[in-house]
A and B are shown apart, each in its own frame.
Chain A
Amino acid sequence: MKIKTLWIEGYGRFSKCTLQLAPGLQIIVGPNEQGKTTIRSFIGDMLYGQKRSAAQRLYDEAHTLRRPWRMPHTYGGRMLYGLDNGQDIEVIRNFDKKSESVQVFDRTNAQEITNDFPRLRNHEPTFSDTHLGVSKAVYLGTASIGHLDLEALGSDDALGQIRERILALADSGEDTGSSEEAIKRIEARIAAIGKPQARSKPLPVVRARLQELDVEWETTSTKYADVSGMMARRFALMDEVVALRTARVGLEEELRGLERRAHADRLRQIEELNLRIGECQKRCFALSNVRDFPLERAPELQRAQNLVATARAALSRTASEREEVEQQLLAERERLGEVAPTSAQDIPDSVDQELADFESAVARCQERIDQAEAQGAVARERMDAAQQDLARLPDFSRFAANPMEWLQQLATSFKMECQSREDETGQLALVRRNVDRLREEVETPQSLFEGIEDFPELARTFEVDTRVREEQTTTLHSRLDTLRNIEEDYASDVPTFRNMALFGVLLFALFVCVAAYTGIMGVYLPAVLSLIMAIWYVINYRSVHRDLRRAEEERIETEQALLALGKSYEDKRTVISDLLERSGSATLRELEALHDKLRAGLERLEELTRALREQERRVEDKHLHVTRQFEHLQRTFAELGETLETEDQVAEMATRSITRYQEYRDAKRRFTENRDLAAVYESELRRLGEERETAQRRDVGKSLEVRKQLRELGFRDESKHTSALSALRAYRIRTAQLRQKQGRLEVLQERMTGLDRQLAIEQQDLVKSEEALRRQLEAVGVDSVEAWQALAEEAKQYREAWDERTRLVEQVRLILGDDDLEALRQSAGQVVDLAPVSGRSVSDIRGELESVSAALDSRQEEAHVLQIAATEQVAGLRTLNEIEEERTELLRRREHMQFELDAAAYAATVVEEVARDRHARIAPKLATHAAQYLSEITAGTYSELFLNREMGITVRIPQTDHLDDHPERRLSKGTVDQIYLSLRLALVQALSDSGERIPMLLDDPFANYDDGRLERAMGLLARIGQTDQVLLFTCREDVVRAAETVGAPVLRI
């Protein structure tokens, strides 16, 4: 697309303003605040309108900002642009809200095409989307290029920011809308919902709460079910309680009858018991002298007696044992003889362990030293092998930080260059074919119009002449017809007038003759009248005759003029007729269209010829570029030890070099690893040597110390042992043997001493026991145990009689119970009134009554317990409805969150996939174009620029000749800015490649350029301007001067 003319009716500061724009590079210069931005905005608004979005009919803020300063009702304008297919489109817009309108005209075919385009939801016709192939956002984002205004320009992350901006523009056409950012935002959203492992996020929290609610539901349901069971059970129990109460009342009644019968029996039993009580009292009286005998002390007396016997027996047993031990001691002393006493001080047991540890530490160190030496030798062998491998392979590290990627990029870049050359060559052939075809097309019409210098003028004159001739012919024919009509009229009148004149003369003659013959004077009057009539007709006759002659003359003249007109027209018509005949056209219009087509064809031919020449130059450039690159590759591969002969071998060479690089990398890795390992083992050996020396030093010191101690302890044989540890162990064995002998004698001696002490104690115990027995006998006034036992027998009889009496009195009391004896006698007297008994005993009835009461109590207790249990069971429980309501709400929320999670995950997947595809496709194109542009701007200083699949920018740094992923540390702000411009221009090219050429709007992009690069950048833009329109807005005169050097037109506002 090329924007040709802007007619600004009213827009911002502009009113009734017309701007003609060149189809290539056009400089628009003006000081600040003179409307450069307004013009850019006008172009954007004319193409896409001012709606806020494709879906909303609301205006964006530009609508108010760009309202005309004067005459607001003129808000709008026209724009004429040409498409790449030659079609001219004119857009007419009125931005005023009240009379908003847009019209699109096809000026080539002279028709309105507004309704040929589908409309967006905001009612905008999508002509610009259709013509440019991009939306408003993408057009404004990508086609408007300013200078790099990165805050951290020149900092470490400048290329990163450029990458992100390019990514964003390529991905969405907006400054911040890269796929990476989109994925980050979606992932942040997923994290906000909560991944499964996140516990505090809403979704996991809701899931956990749902699990809790499930448990609560189960628990509550179970408890409610339990409570229902309990209540059913309680209901059954209450029925039983009623039945048991009834049974208990019956039993109680029966029991009361039986009790009255029992009273009589009880009275009889009491009277019998009273008789037996009297007998017991008599026996007690007879034995009253031993009433107070301390019979209860009999166990004590018996115990004292036992103690005396026990003490005597123990004393005797201990004395015999002492005698036996004394004999054993004497026998043992005789058997063992004298033993030398062992030292009280001894070497601690820990010394053995310490010595053993030192010895084993030394041995362990030695073992590890041997291992380390062996491993070190292996590592050195491997290192040597790797070094040999490295020696036969080129040093890839000289070429690039990442040689594999570099080689791939070299191959890819060369392949793309070749492809580009082929494309350009193909394009050249296409252009040639087009030129030839066009030449053939214009050949016939050209020969047709050959010799006619100005056919349009000829056609116009012919048209005018034709029209004039037609008008004159029409006029003359009309006049001729009129004259012929007049002639006919006159010709018809002449005989009438002549005959009427003759008739008048005849009448006059007749009336004169009659008057003359008759003499009547009155007849002369008609004769006179007849004469007057004859004279009048004669006069008319003569007048008409004259007019007739005159009309005849005039008709003849007109006929002659008509003939002359036809003749002169025929002369001119012959040329046109000849053209019409030769061209096969039916009308002059067709002939004109043919001529227009010829003229357009010639212009197109001229244009194509120019394009052909340009294409030839580009093909030549491409060939040259490929050749240079091929030579560069030859040199590069030569340095890598490969011979590159043909272009077809590049890929193979790259693959082979990659293979060799992989070998190199592997060898380098092995070399580094084994070198590091060898160093590690060396270091380990040094450390182990030191460790061994330390252990040995400690071992020797400790050994000397132990040997000295052994000597001091009298162990003379220590010198016979090679190590202190073995000497110490021998010493320990000898000491243990001596201690065993000494220990046995000490045991017997200790036992003797113990038996002596025990003998003394037992003698004291015997004396005490005899004293205690004596005191007990004196207490009852006897002196022997036998006398004490005789008195005790009598006292026992007394107590038996008294106990019998007491038992009988107790029986009476029991039989009476709480009753009074007199009442019992009265009750016994009423027995005759009782009903017959059922046959069951009172105890049976009581038992049954107790059983019924127990059952009743049990049921009531159980019912009460159930009541309490049921109450406790549901206490604090929420109702199932409440749980279910919360659960329903949580399920709804979980479903929504899961849905959001799934949708976000799917969106992230699709974004990632499309971004990957998109980047893979666009990155090589961008890299190729951008590298060319950068090379051109920097005069070849920076000729290699690569983009990987993630759009990471790599530039070969001339100072180091290495590709650098982070070259910004070495680049000036200007160069970074130029990389940015190259990429932005490349991005527009990439977008244009698949459709209409997109006009670029550049806003002073040369802020950081030096003069040389500014001039070359202008040359680049001029070159781009040969195929694409570039509108460069600037306020700088140096830019204007640079533009003038490349012949770019300058428009001052």
Chain B
Amino acid sequence: MPATYGNRRRQGLRDVFHAIVERARIWPADALLIAGDLFELDRVSRDTVAFLQREFAFLAPIPVFIAPGNHDPFVPASPYATETWPPNVHIFRTPSWTSIESEDIPLTVHGFAFDGFDISNNPFGHLRVAHDGRVHVAVAHGSERGHQPAEKEAYAPFNAVEAACPGLAYLALGHFHSATAITGQFATSMWYAGMPEGRGFSDVGMHHYLEIEASDGMVRVEPVASSRVIYQSFSLPCSGFTTSQEVVEAIRALPRDETRGVVARVTLTGTASAAWRGGVDAIRDAAVDRFEYLIIIDRTEPEEDYAALARDRTALGLFAERLNEEIRDTSDPSRRALLLRARELGVAAYRGRELPIAGVTEDAL
């Protein structure tokens, strides 16, 4: 998507963060726990850092506990180290458990920090909590093995059983992008809050932040929907649509969350009539008003009977026959796509029909 919309989305992320801070201030929360990946270290701008500083200052005196993760590790060049943060912000600095006791309430927060893009020493399993009558919570970043997708790389991997420890009421986890409760045969309550707002089509659906109440050994966790914009992917079979109007209406009728903005990616499949095939830009422009943003991927094939065409004893028939054979014989998907397009282009050229050129737009550069 274009950079201008990217800027809008980045602002959207800030708005959601601000709303969470505002909620913590009004509630009021005893503490705000951030389990890492607050920002991308190699991308974070000074403006973002200034924004975070302002937000945290706005939240004072409510303490903020940050456990730097693999995307925002505590390294000498990190804004965590180089910038001055409001006094209510507590940033864990080392890859070993550190405890911070609140002076105002009986709360002790334990945490550690990634000291690089991968942690030098995995501290999971080494936390010990004193039985001193205080509420002990921990905030940490890592991959719980039971929920780790096989194709993804694990960071500070741990098993939930070893992460739990007697006396620890709640373990706030960060790394996975959606809200996930880690349950098992242990007393500690564990949750991944996930990201409060999706950032792309890998983060489809609603996102949350967690409101936690802990008292007298009881922990209540309430996931609160926080997404202002959600990402959704659709596949739309188009065979049988004779006009672009039908395609537009079908896109408008796609099931979506009406209460929030939707960034939709619609993949058109099946066969497309020559009457509207190639006019995807116009279709997008016509249907975009129902969405926060709309991306249309055209995977349709032309509605042409190439087998019938290949029976003609003409050069066009020979052309269609040859490409039909090549398409049939190839097993390489990219080669097949190329041949399909070449066949369509060749037939259109014989018939003097213009086809739009993908990638060339009116406002190009």
The residues of A with any CB-CB pair to B shorter than 8 Å are 53-56, 58, 120-122, 126, 129, 133-135, 137-138, 170-174, 176-177, 179, 181-183, 185-186, 189, 192-193, 202-203, 205-206, 209, 221, 224, 227-229, 231-232, 234-235, 870, 874, 878-883, 885-886, 889, 892-897, 899-900, 902-904, 906-907, 910-911, 914-915, 917-919, 991, 994-995
Cβ-closest chain A residue relative to B358 = A896
Contacts of B313 in A (CB 8 A): 133-134, 138, 991, 994-995
Give B348's nearest chain A residue, CB to CB. A185
A185: chain B residues within 8 A (beta carbon): 348-349, 352
Q: Is the pair B345, A202 in contact by a Cβ cutoff of 8 Å?
A: no
A206 to B364, CA, bound (A): 9
Cβ-defined contact, B349 with A170, below 8 A: no
B305 at the interface (CB under 8 A from A): yes
- Chain A residues within an 8 Å CB radius of B342: 903-904, 906-907, 910
Chain B residue, CB-CB nearest to A224: B42
Partner of B358, one of A56, A122, A899: A899
B98-106, B246-254, B285-293, B318-326 - the one binding chain A: B318-326
Cβ contact of B315, chosen from A133, A135, A137, A915, cutoff 8 A: A915
Nearest-neighbour CB distance to chain A for B245, whole angstroms, equals: 15
B279 within 8 A of A: no
Whether B350 contacts A232 by the Cβ 8 Å rule is: no
B29 within 8 A of A: no
B25 CB, min distance to chain A CBs, angstroms: 28
Residues of B within 8 A of A894 (CB): 359
**Alpha-carbon distance A918/B1, docked complex (angstroms):** 46
| A133 touching B6 in the complex, CB below 8 Å, given contacts A235-B82, A896-B359, A911-B349 | no
A329 CB, nearest partner CB in chain B, Å:
88
Question: By the criterion CB–CB under 8 Å, are A129 and B308 in contact?
Answer: yes
Least Cβ–Cβ distance between B2 and chain A, in angstroms: 6
**Closest partner residue, chain A, to B76 (CB atom):** A232
Q: From known contacts A172-B350, A189-B345, A232-B76, infer whether A205 and B364 are also in contact, taking CB-CB under 8 Å.
A: yes
Q: Which residues of the partner chain A approach B225 to less than 8 Å between Cβ atoms? A: none
A121-B303, A914-B315 known; A202+B364 contact, CB < 8 A: yes
Partner of B308, one of A135, A172, A224, A878: A135
Which of the residues B77, B79, B304, B314 comes within 8 Å of A918, measured between beta carbons?
B314
Which residues of B63-81 are within 8 A (CB) of A?
76-77, 79, 81
Question: Once bound together, how far apart are the Cα atoms of A53 and B346, in whole Å?
Answer: 17
What separation, in Å, do the CA atoms of A205 and B273 have in the docked complex?
A: 32
B260 within 8 A of A: no
User: Are B359 and A234 in contact, with the CB atoms below 8 A?
Assistant: no
Which of these, A182, A231, A878, A881, contacts B82 with CB under 8 Å?
A: A231
Asked whether A881 lies within 8 Å of B345 as measured between CB atoms, the reply is no
Q: Which B273-322 residues have C-beta < 8 A from chain A?
A: 273-274, 303-305, 308-309, 311-319, 322
CB contacts under 8 Å to A, within B39-93, are 42-43, 45-46, 76-77, 79, 81-83
Among A121, A181, A915, chain B packs the most CB atoms within 10 A around the CB of A121
Chain A residues positioned under 8 Å from B308 (CB to CB): 54, 120, 126, 129, 135
A185 to B344, CA, bound (A): 13
Q: Please indicate the chain B residues that have their CB under 8 angstroms from the CB of A881 in the complex.
A: 3, 6, 10, 43
A contact residues around B338 at 8 Å (CB): 899, 902-903, 906
In the complex, chain B residues whose CB is within 8 Å of the CB of A899:
337-338, 341, 358-359
For B322, list chain A residues within 8 Å (CB). 910, 914
Q: How far is the CA of A904 from the CA of B342 in the complex (A)?
A: 6
- Known A910-B322, A918-B315; 11 more pairs at CB < 8 Å: A120-B305, A121-B305, A170-B314, A172-B315, A186-B345, A202-B364, A227-B46, A894-B359, A900-B341, A914-B318, A919-B315
User: Which positions in B face A, CB cutoff 8 Å?
Assistant: 1-3, 6-7, 10, 42-43, 45-46, 76-77, 79, 81-83, 242, 271, 273-274, 303-305, 308-309, 311-319, 322-323, 337-339, 341-343, 345-346, 348-352, 355, 357-361, 364-365
Q: CB distance A882 to B6 under 8 Å?
A: yes
A1000 to chain B, nearest CB (A): 16
Contacts of A54 in B (CB 8 A): 304-305, 308-309
Contacts of A137 in B (CB 8 A): 312
Residue numbers in B under 8 Å from A203 (CB-CB): 359
**Contact (Cβ within 8 A) A879 B43:** yes
Decide: B359 and A892 in contact? CB cutoff 8 A: yes
Q: Identify the closest chain B residue to A883 (Cβ).
A: B3
A209, B42: Cα distance in complex, Å: 23
Q: By the criterion CB–CB under 8 Å, are A907 and B360 in contact?
A: no
Query: Which 7 pairs across A and B sit closest by C-beta, in order of nearness?
Result: A896-B359, A228-B77, A903-B341, A171-B315, A896-B358, A231-B82, A182-B349
Q: List chain B residues, Cβ under 8 A from A919.
A: 315
In the bound assembly, the distance between CA atoms of A170 and B318 in angstroms comes to 11
- Max chain B CB contacts within 10 Å: which of A185, A227, A229, A994? A185
Within 8 Å by CB of B349, from A186, A882, A917, lies A186
Instruction: Name A's interface SS.
Output: helix
A181 CB contacts on chain B under 8 angstroms:
349-350, 352
- A918 / chain B contacts, CB cutoff of 8 Å: 314-315, 318
CA distance A936 to B308 in the complex (A): 37
A856 to B153, CA, bound (A): 47
The answer to whether A895 touches B345, judged by C-beta atoms less than 8 angstroms apart, is: no
> What chain A residues lie within 8 Å of B312 (beta carbons)?
134-135, 137-138, 173
Contact between chains at B82 and A172 (CB < 8 Å): no
Do the beta carbons of A133 and B311 come within 8 Å of each other? yes
Q: Are A205 and B365 in contact (CB under 8 A)?
A: yes
With the chains together, A120 CA to B310 CA distance in Å? Answer: 13
Q: How far is the CA of A947 from the CA of B343 in the complex (A)?
A: 29
Taking a contact as CB atoms under 8 Å apart, the answer to whether A910 and B346 are in contact is yes
Task: Tell me how far the C-beta of B300 lies from the nearest C-beta in chain A, rounded to whole angstroms.
Answer: 13
Which residues of A sit under 8 angstroms from B364, Cβ to Cβ? 202, 205-206, 893
The CA-CA distance from A228 to B316 in the complex, in Å, is 63
* CA of A892 to CA of B2, assembled, Å: 11
Query: Contact between A182 and B346 (Cβ–Cβ < 8 Å)?
Result: yes
**Cross-chain contact of B319 among A193, A911, A994 (Cβ < 8 A):** A911
The interface residues of chain A lying within 8 Å CB-to-CB of B314 are: 138, 170-173, 918
Task: Report the Cα distance A134→B355, complex, angstroms.
Answer: 26
Q: Once the chains bind, are B359 and A897 in contact (CB under 8 Å)?
A: yes
Q: Which of B79, B312, B355, B364 has the most CB of A within 10 A?
A: B312
Contact of A179 among B242, B273, B304, B315 (CB under 8 A): B315
Q: Which chain A positions have C-beta within 8 A of B273?
A: 56
Interface pair B76/A917, CB less than 8 Å apart: no
Docked CA distance A202–B308 (Å): 36
Residues A889 and B303 in contact, CB atoms below 8 Å apart: no
Report the bound CA distance from A919 to B318 in whole Å.
Answer: 12
**Shortest Cβ distance from residue B362 to the other chain A in the assembled complex, whole angstroms:** 11
Q: Which residues of A contact B361 (CB under 8 A)?
A: 893
A194's nearest neighbour on chain B, judged by CB, is B360
A181 to chain B, nearest CB (A): 7
Among B82, B83, B271, B311, the most chain A Cβ lie within 10 Å of the Cβ of B82
The answer to whether A192 and B10 touch across the interface, beta carbons within 8 angstroms, is: no
Q: A886 vs B81: C-alpha distance in the bound complex, in angstroms?
A: 31
Evaluate contact between A193 and B360: CB separation under 8 angstroms: yes
Instruction: Report Cα–Cα, A812/B221, bound state, in Å.
Output: 83
A231 nearest CB neighbor, chain B only: B82
- Nearest-CB distance from B241 to chain A (Å)? 12
Distance, CA A179 to CA B348, complexed state (A): 11
Q: How far is the CA of A172 from the CA of B364 in the complex (A)?
A: 35
**Contact partner, B242, options A58, A910, A995, Cβ 8 Å:** A58
Quick check: A885 and B2 within 8 Å, CB to CB? yes
CB contact under 8 A between A900 and B359, given known A54-B309, A907-B342: yes
User: Which residues of B have CB within 8 Å of A182?
Assistant: 346, 349-350
Closest to A897 in B: B359
* CB-defined contacts of B3 to chain A, threshold 8 Å: 878, 881-883, 885-886, 889
Q: Which residues of B contact A56 (CB under 8 A)?
A: 242, 273, 303
What is the CA–CA distance of A209 and B364 in the complex, to the nearest angstrom? 11
26 CB < 8 A contacts A-B: A53-B305, A55-B271, A58-B242, A126-B308, A172-B314, A172-B350, A181-B349, A182-B346, A186-B346, A189-B349, A193-B360, A206-B364, A228-B82, A232-B81, A878-B3, A883-B3, A899-B338, A900-B359, A902-B338, A907-B343, A907-B346, A907-B349, A911-B319, A911-B349, A914-B318, A919-B315
